[in-house]
Amino acid sequence: MRATFVLQHRPPSIALLFGDARPDPRFLAQLHAAEPAFRAAYDAWLDAAIAPDEARIGGLPVLPPASACIGYQFAVAALWRAWGIKPVVVGGEGAGEVAAALVAGGLTLQGAAAVARRLDGTARPAALPVDGRLAMKLILGSRAQMLDAGQALSAQMLDTLGGVSAGQPARARLTEAADLVIACGSQTYGALLQDLATGYLAGAAVDWRRLHEGDGQDPAPLPNYAFQRSRFWPQALSKAAPAPAEPPRAPEQDGLFAIEWQPSERQIGAPVAAPAEVMAGLRSRVMELQSGGDFDDVRDVQRELNRFAAFSICEALRQLKPDIGPGTVLPADDVGAALGVVAGQRRLAARMMGCLESCGLVERQENRLVFTGPLLRASLPGEIASIRASYPRFETEIRIAAQAERLADVLRGHATGVDVLFPNGSPALVDALYRDSVAATVMNRLTGEAIGDVARSASGRRLRILEIGGGTGSTTEAVLPRLSENIEYAFTDVSPAFLPRARAAFGSRVARYEVLDIESDADVRAFAQAPFDVILAANVLHATRSIRATLQNVGSLLRPGGALVLLEGIETQPIADVTLGMLEGWWLHEDASERSSGPLLSRAQWVRVLTESGFEAETLPAEPSLGGITAQQTVVVARRRAVAKAVSAVTILHRGAAAAPAVRAALEAAGLRVEEAAPARAPQMLAALESDAFSRRDAAWIYLPGTGAPCARPTEDAREAAADLLGLAECLAGAGNSAPPLWIVTSGAQPVHGTLRPGDAALCGIARVMRSEMPHLRVSVLDLDSETPDWRALAALIAAGRDEPELAVANGRVLVPALAPVQLAPVSAETNVSPDASYLVTGAFGVLGAHAVRWLAEQGAGKLFLVGRNQPEEAALRAIAAARFAGTEIVTVIADVADASDIESLFAQIGADRRPLRGILHAAAALDDAPIARQTAASFARAFAPKAEGAWLLHEHSRRHALDFFVLYSSMAAVIGSAGQSNYAAANCFLDALAHHRQALGLPALSVNWGLWANTGAAVRRDVVEAGTLQGAKPITPEQGHAVLKAAIAAGRAQIAVFPVDRSVLRRSLGGRAVPSLLAPLLADTHASAEAGPPAAKTLFNSFVALMNEAAASERSGLIMRFVRKRLPELLNLDPTTGIEDDRPLLELGLDSLVGLELKNEMQALSGLKLPSTLFFDCPTTGDLARYIDIALPVVRADEAAQEARERVLI
């Protein structure tokens, strides 16, 4: 008998057993010809295993023994699947091990073929040369899990199983793991069909239509049980027949949030080197240029070009006033008007007179200009040709100079400077001047080196760099190669015309391409929301009306300690006046006190105005050996001054923390006085401070938890640190408003770092409760990378006296958390909960545990292990009975999830079960509420242990199981910092961090911060967390909660907060109390509306929602689409007739961040939705955008029925 089974009425679990017998070639050919599923699989095997010179019989290659055995059984398994026989476990003996691994997905076809060739090339080894974990695998859905985690199955190992022969152990193991074992070595059709019949009688669901495909039969299914003699118990209705396929459904989106870490508006000061250091390095680069270049002719060509400028001025004056000559007198105060020059070019005309005055052709007599001799006369084309012949390598400079021949046209208004220097709109001429000229080559290189040195001084931190007036990108091209990838570069210009060209040239190396007018307050405010580390402006700032006002705007975009690098001309040359001076922007300056004649400032002037504008500055000195290039232009490096220290003395409180020496060194390097003490000495330290009012004003405390290696003892570390912190809180509370600020320094507590420490995260929960219970205390949590902590950033933040409640430093950026709305995608009715798997629920005997039991049973769970510390309550008993009636096997276990021995016993029991463990839902919880002043080690442990220590034990013991989900029931108490629940908040923050930690390890995890649950029936008991004090929270029904749970698991999220709330009610309920920090963004709009009255957006919202409610469901997306199509062309300055297809990427239309922000704000005002900052990343086309809004938009009904009173549970 090739098949054994256990008689039962439910569908059996099936195992396939693969041997090492060589197949009958004639039967193989018969199957190949008759069965399409067999043929497809065997042909795939041949493609991987066949060699070109293989012999053939009947058109099929003759394979070596192992290869033939593996290929044949692989194809037979495919035939079984086609007939409806789907195994949950496979096992193999000899070469059959390889076939089993191939069917299970543990080996690819190519990998299995390679193993087969090794087997055929040598004597069979004692153990196959493949990973022994592939010997037996469970196949469930699309995932495979090793049943045998040991070494490769060898003959000696096979003999150890129950004393049976080497040919029987695999079958023996499979019989333990499945109801029905079918061997894949049948050599005749009769044997194959006999095995199929055996499976059918055992209850297997045979696909008769596939079996009889092509023979004209129309089979009808009949019961395969002895229905005249045996009672047949149908399965529960929920599992009796599959429901019709339902379209994907999204859970209710109201009240779904994520904690997002966003850049703080206030960044760390002084991250870059001082200007003097950068300039010292730049001088060494100048020396390199001197030794490697020839600059002897630079002064000569400059002299010739300035001479040509004088000829051009004289020729232009001759055209403007033909009778001009010796003795001609013009008014000095308005020479342009006297010459008939258009208003926009009269400053240029005055500058021309200055050039002639320096040549001795004009003399200034009081307010008159008197011509002392005849105008110079020369053939301008001839002069250009002569210069070009003498100085051929200065072609770029000469081409620009030649444009001065049109000086008269510009002065009379017959042409503009743009027409002359940008012929036909092309920037090529000016681009070449700023990119390819000899001077530009030198100065761009030096500017790029300066930026590179500044970036390198930031010690690997991620830098945000802004280029103002990028123009043709000539300086950008010299800068980018000198920067690492750890930057965010923003290219801007006052004209949008330059942006497409820059985008084409630099692509993704530049993160942003945007319009920025540095003199526009609106533009500057938009950019100042996230200050930059470095700002570059090449030949830009002089072309502004007020250099001081411009520097004030620049400073507002630069964070304290950030660097400003300028490339500027400092000596006006006549040739520049009559070429670049034709552009009106050359003469924008209105600050006559700084710039009386031309737009350029000298070195001394730059240093003075920068110093007076809040910078420390250095300029590159002139170097004669560079041919006067650095005499006419310079590189300016400035650094915005850091804010004055708010803190000058720091006490580090710790119990031998390994980081203490590094922290002390960083603080002292920042100029702070430092002392260290144990947390137990806090009262004495506080008493000393209170006796010295002067010292108390600028003092701060730092608490360093004494953690060891990451996650070595996370729960023990957390309890020790919590005891310290609770003691410090009690001590500081007694000091009232005179208490020094307390900084709690954690490492890897937040999911912005690579390595996470859940133990440190628990301290965040305590800190949030401290702020709720003791609002007068200044408590901040600063989280650093656990592997490469930025102690310099810590020192800078503490010295500046930052007052944000929570901060994290990652890649040199200061981040702050905010509760941001999220949307979960629709999910299908199908679920990955399997009837052939087991699932573990902790805290199963309370209200929420009972809901979880019902949900898993409804999803089709085969077996549930339910764990609780006490006997099940009535609600849990009802849920268990319902689950059993639905066909789910139930095992109840009285155990303490925080007890390591209990968990070991539990997992031993789970491991002995034939169903693999595929999911864990950890809902265990306990309360022991008390204010911080009354918390004890015992009360802290009572709430902390079931959640945090239990979760960690489950994490450790489940790692060898291939789980589909690992769900942790956390609480909004952790987010809000509920007063009286410091122990509970700490435990839930631990859960949140553990979920992120598991995902970083590649393991499934989801932590859900539940809000208020509606409990419809039994009274709320103390083993379930009671309702919080916040008003406005809306209850979560079990149906809503489980829909969110299912969608969040499918989305792969690590954490989600479920907190449906009436924000206005919540805001009013807080009264004058401080808003919890994470809720501040959530309540910001309600606060503004309360002060300013109903906003106009509310009216828009009402009208838009009314329109949407009147529309049919199929019309809603269309309405939104029409709005987007109408508004986008207006925002992007497109032709109103521009067609916007549903699938056209918005970026292709020119959507940038500023336009996207405006569109998002308008859609928020119209729809009343809080749209995420990643809206246009998640929805790149108008079609995506419309579908997103359609799903998220609420349907508002005018006459809502009064809500039924419910008992509420806040976990």
Strand partners, 743: 702, 780
- Residues 456-471: tens digit of each pLDDT: 887 666 788 999 999 9
Answer yes or no: is pLDDT of 279 > 80. yes
Give the chain's mean pLDDT: 80
CA atoms within 13 A on the CB side of 441: 13
Task: Say if strands 362-365 and 329-331 run parallel, antiparallel, or are unpaired.
Answer: unpaired
Strand partners, 16: 90, 182
As a whole number of angstroms, the distance between CA 550 and CA 544 comes to: 7
1178 token code pair: 């998640």
**Nearby residues of 832 by Cβ (< 8 Å), 6 or more positions away:** 141, 918, 964
Task: Say if strands 14-18 and 180-183 run parallel, antiparallel, or are unpaired.
Answer: parallel
* Arithmetic mean of pLDDT, 758-784: 91
Distance of CA 955 to the CA centre of its chain: 25
Q: What is the pLDDT of residue 37?
A: 85
Q: What is the pLDDT of residue 786?
A: 86
- Confidence label for 235 from pLDDT (cuts 50, 70 and 90): very low
- Residues 502-558: tens digit of each pLDDT: 999 999 899 899 999 999 988 888 887 778 999 999 999 999 999 999 999 999 999
Tell which wins on pLDDT, 420 or 1167: 420
- 649-818 matches 275-294+427-640 in CATH topology: yes
* Most distant CA atoms of the chain, gap in Å: 134
224 token code pair: 């395969």
As a whole number of angstroms, the distance between CA 374 and CA 350 comes to: 19
Distance of CA 1108 to the CA centre of its chain: 33
438 token code pair: 């000899």
Residue 284, judged by CB atoms within 10 A of its CB (0-12, 13-18, 19+), counts as: exposed
CA-to-CA separations, 282 to 287, 539, 624, 637, in angstroms, rounded: 9, 19, 16, 10
Tell which wins on pLDDT, 296 or 600: 600
Answer yes or no: is pLDDT of 1138 > 70. no
- Confidence label for 1025 from pLDDT (cuts 50, 70 and 90): very low
As a whole number of angstroms, the distance between CA 66 and CA 1080 comes to: 68
Sketch the domain layout of the chain as residue ranges. Answer: 3-219, 275-294+427-640, 298-415, 649-818, 838-1061, 1066-1093, 1095-1192
Q: What is the pLDDT of residue 155?
A: 32
Tell which wins on pLDDT, 1143 or 465: 465
* Arithmetic mean of pLDDT, 972-986: 90
Q: What is the pLDDT of residue 952?
A: 97
CATH architecture of 1095-1192: Orthogonal Bundle (1.10)
Residue type, 633: Q
Answer yes or no: is pLDDT of 68 > 50. yes
DSSP secondary structure string, 816-883? EEEEEE--PPPB-S--S--TTSEEEEESTTSHHHHHHHHHHHHHT-SEEEEEESS---HHHHHHHHHH
- Residues 124-141: tens digit of each pLDDT: 333 333 333 333 332 322
Q: What is the pLDDT of residue 669?
A: 87
As a whole number of angstroms, the distance between CA 772 and CA 761 comes to: 18
As a whole number of angstroms, the distance between CA 533 and CA 813 comes to: 10
* Arithmetic mean of pLDDT, 1125-1140: 63
Q: What is the number of other CB atoms lying within 10 angstroms of the CB of residue 522? A: 7
Helix H, strand E, coil C: the string for 402-443 is: HHHHHHHHHHHCCCCHHHHHCHHHCCHHHHHHHHHCHHHHHH
Task: Tell which residue, 756, 780, 757, has the closest CA to residue 768.
Answer: 780
Residue 1036 near residue 1010 (C-beta atoms within 8 A): yes
As a whole number of angstroms, the distance between CA 750 and CA 989 comes to: 10
- Residues 786-811: tens digit of each pLDDT: 888 999 889 988 988 877 899 999 88
The topology (CATH level 3) of 3-219 is Malonyl-Coenzyme A Acyl Carrier Protein; domain 2 (3.40.366)
- Residues 1059-1075: tens digit of each pLDDT: 988 877 776 666 555 56
Q: What is the pLDDT of residue 1053?
A: 93
Residue 202 near residue 12 (C-beta atoms within 8 A): yes
Phi then psi dihedrals of residue 7, to 5 deg: -65, 130
Long-range CB contacts (within 8 A, 24+) of 230-238? 232/9, 233/9, 235/10, 235/886, 235/887, 236/885, 236/886, 236/887, 238/858, 238/886
Q: Is the CATH number 3.40.630.10 carried by domain 275-294+427-640?
A: no
**Nearby residues of 355 by Cβ (< 8 Å), 6 or more positions away:** 309, 310, 313, 574, 577, 578
Q: What is the pLDDT of residue 698?
A: 83
Q: What is the pLDDT of residue 1191?
A: 72
E runs forming strands in 93-194: 136-140, 143-146, 180-183
Strand partners, 866: 841, 892
- Confidence label for 993 from pLDDT (cuts 50, 70 and 90): very high
Answer yes or no: is pLDDT of 1210 > 60. no
1013, 1018, 1021, 1025: CA torsion to nearest 10: 0
- Confidence label for 221 from pLDDT (cuts 50, 70 and 90): low
Report CA torsion sign: 498, 500, 506, 508: positive
- Confidence label for 180 from pLDDT (cuts 50, 70 and 90): confident
Answer yes or no: is pLDDT of 56 > 70. no
Q: What is the pLDDT of residue 451?
A: 95
Residue in the structure block whose two tokens are 């250009």: 384
Strand partners, 340: none
Q: What is the pLDDT of residue 545?
A: 92
As a whole number of angstroms, the distance between CA 414 and CA 894 comes to: 96
121 token code pair: 């090339």
As a whole number of angstroms, the distance between CA 411 and CA 393 comes to: 31
Answer yes or no: is pLDDT of 894 > 90. yes
Answer yes or no: is pLDDT of 396 > 90. yes
Q: Rounded to 5 degrees, what angle do the CA atoms 1062, 854, 999 make?
A: 70
Answer yes or no: is pLDDT of 231 > 90. no
- Residues 1079-1105: tens digit of each pLDDT: 766 765 544 343 333 333 333 344 445
**Nearby residues of 384 by Cβ (< 8 Å), 6 or more positions away:** 308, 398, 401, 402
Answer yes or no: is pLDDT of 65 > 70. yes
* Arithmetic mean of pLDDT, 699-704: 94
Residue 1089, judged by CB atoms within 10 A of its CB (0-12, 13-18, 19+), counts as: middle
Q: What is the number of other CB atoms lying within 10 angstroms of the CB of residue 1199? A: 4
Distance of CA 806 to the CA centre of its chain: 19
856 token code pair: 């898993």
Q: Which residues of 381-391 are buried (b: 16+ CB within 10 A; e: fewer)?
A: eebbeebeeeb
As a whole number of angstroms, the distance between CA 808 and CA 783 comes to: 4
**Nearby residues of 1175 by Cβ (< 8 Å), 6 or more positions away:** 1156, 1160, 1185, 1188
Tell which wins on pLDDT, 55 or 18: 18
Answering whether pTM is above 0.85, one says no
Q: What is the pLDDT of residue 243?
A: 39
Residues counted in the chain: 1211
428 token code pair: 């090529």
CA-to-CA separations, 1160 to 513, 1127, 1136, 1152, 1153, in angstroms, rounded: 19, 11, 20, 12, 10
Residue 628 near residue 608 (C-beta atoms within 8 A): no
Q: What is the pLDDT of residue 707?
A: 52
As a whole number of angstroms, the distance between CA 313 and CA 405 comes to: 9
H or E element in which residue 640 lies: strand 633-640
Residue in the structure block whose two tokens are 């930057």: 487
Residue 400 near residue 579 (C-beta atoms within 8 A): yes
- Confidence label for 1130 from pLDDT (cuts 50, 70 and 90): low
Q: What is the pLDDT of residue 178?
A: 72
Task: Tell which residue, 1014, 1004, 968, has the closest CA to residue 988.
Answer: 968
Task: Tell which residue, 1000, 964, 1048, has the closest CA to residue 143.
Answer: 964
Q: What is the number of other CB atoms lying within 10 angstroms of the CB of residue 199? A: 23
Give the least confident one: 169-178, 403-412, 874-883, 1020-1029.
Answer: 1020-1029
Residue type, 957: H
CA atoms within 13 A on the CB side of 48: 22
671 token code pair: 């100029």
CATH architecture of 649-818: 3-Layer(aba) Sandwich (3.40)
Q: What is the pLDDT of residue 1184?
A: 81
Task: Tell which residue, 597, 541, 579, has the closest CA to residue 418.
Answer: 579
1053 token code pair: 């999220």
Q: What percent of the chain has pLDDT over 70?
A: 77
As a whole number of angstroms, the distance between CA 761 and CA 989 comes to: 6
As a whole number of angstroms, the distance between CA 324 and CA 527 comes to: 52
Selected from 3.40.50.720, 3.40.800.20, 1.20.120.140, 2.40.170.20, the CATH number assigned to the domain covering 838-1061 reads 3.40.50.720
As a whole number of angstroms, the distance between CA 795 and CA 672 comes to: 9
